[in-house]
Structure 1
């Protein structure tokens, strides 16, 4: 989890709304803003320059609330998020805009719009490792890629040959069937956590269960890297913390992106060579876009 700085109850009179009366008279809007950042350097050195000046952020937020009119509260919230993310130390922001005087024709207390934005937005290429060792593994891997490719914000750009590799089991664990492994390059505008959720949904759709570490599985989808993006929270770490030691990931990755570099570890071809023979190549052009 990231550290957070929260600003609550920032207020200003704005003229946002669809109705002419809202534009003419205006009303008071309130915003709550949560800044996500790493405060460790600032705390260690007691240094304001190593964190975010929240007084300046407050002024920016009020300037948006009182600034050029927008029809929608959603637009106001998005503008605030955009302004806050211009500060380089902020990695993500939550914005809640309150419109307690909204033209709602029944008794009510408040109308709020909440948005979450993070610096990991934008279009990027993501390296995805795929594996399966139960059922018709090849068909499952192909189906998973088709499902991802059908998402409106995901495109499968390249797919490695299929590799057969021995299953990695815990000491004393039961033997397992060999895995089929591949690496795909996805071009996506989904933030990392949303892409992770999409992949986990695809896994569940193919019967994936998470009852045993390193257990046999119908489908395993791992986000490996996203360019030079670094990401760490309770559910996801990028680059993948064990990718540099997994030959069954590195070898297919090197085949699909020969010049790839794993941030913090070096060229993927060299890392793959250091891991030794990963297994047996069983199919080259095994996947085609439907």
Structure 2
């Protein structure tokens, strides 16, 4: 990952060529000319590199078709606007962190001998709201699970591409599933990020690794657990839904977990979660669950949001 958390991996598509009618002059709108577009995508390619599955990456055929459609579509006066439109289309793919689009106009009416005119723009994703569940039930480096969870939230808040908006008060919860183990400390973090879901997940795993999280026993005890519960805003139909084994969104068991929903409701009384095809108020989900196994944790008060900045 780059210093800002953007994927270092790249998919580059060069030389998408088509005839368009972009330009400020009447003859450009009437006669048209050739345009060439290059697209460079910043994408985390770890998952497709391991799975060899097209569903885990960005289909560059779709990127090329979208760029050609923009070239041949409704005309813009400026190739700057054409580049912006191509970049917008590329960022609609959930796996893309950043895109650089270069538009070439080799027949531009420049008035002097020249080889090419090009405009290059680089755009990142707009920040979106995300929900992260925090849990721990083993001590780490002399810290209690509650202290570890608080430190993990602080570490996440210091990530250059993540803005922590709020953190719930911590709760204690009885273990659900897995082997016999200590009680958990749980909480929920509301944040905004310009990272793609894949890059955000990698960032969360990086924080877990810093606290020596291991994955040896399913649902076993752990020093730290950071789960990406929701990416985007389901109320606006702008959330990401994914059924990939390495990235399931929204979290497949969030609607059943009181230790996630209770602190989430605490920090955001208006919260909603996509459940199947429905968008359901978290308050309604909590009302339908047995919450007896969830209780306030000692010294569980939520921090002042300014302390997380």
TM-score (norm 1): 0.64
Mapped partners of 1:251, 1:222: distance in 2 = 15
Could you say what secondary structure the match of 1:275 adopts?
coil
- The 5 Å alignment of 1:191-270 reads 191-225=196-230, 226-228=232-234, 229-232=239-242, 233-263=244-274, 264=278, 266-270=280-284
Cα displacement (A) at 1:148:
1.0
Cα displacement (A) at 1:152:
2.4
| Structure 1: 4+ residue segments shifted above 3 A | 6-9, 28-34, 52-57, 67-70, 76-80, 90-99
- How many matched pairs? 229
Task: Find out whether 1:123 has 2:123 as its counterpart.
Answer: no
Match of 2:167 among 159, 175, 180: 159
Does the CA-based 8 Å contact 2:163-2:193 persist in structure 1?
yes
TM-score (norm 2): 0.60
The residue that corresponds to 1:274 in the other structure is 288
Change (3 A) 1:286 1:267: closer
Cα displacement (A) at 1:81:
2.9
Any stretches of 5+ residues in structure 1 without a counterpart?
Answer: 1-5, 14-27, 35-51, 71-75, 100-112
Mapped partners of 2:285, 2:155: distance in 1 = 30
The residue that corresponds to 1:285 in the other structure is 301
The residue that corresponds to 1:179 in the other structure is 184
Comparing 195-204 with 277-286, greater Cα deviation is found at: 277-286
Cα displacement (A) at 1:31:
3.8
Match of 2:16 among 4, 10, 31: 10
Query: RMSD of the alignment, in Å?
Result: 4.1
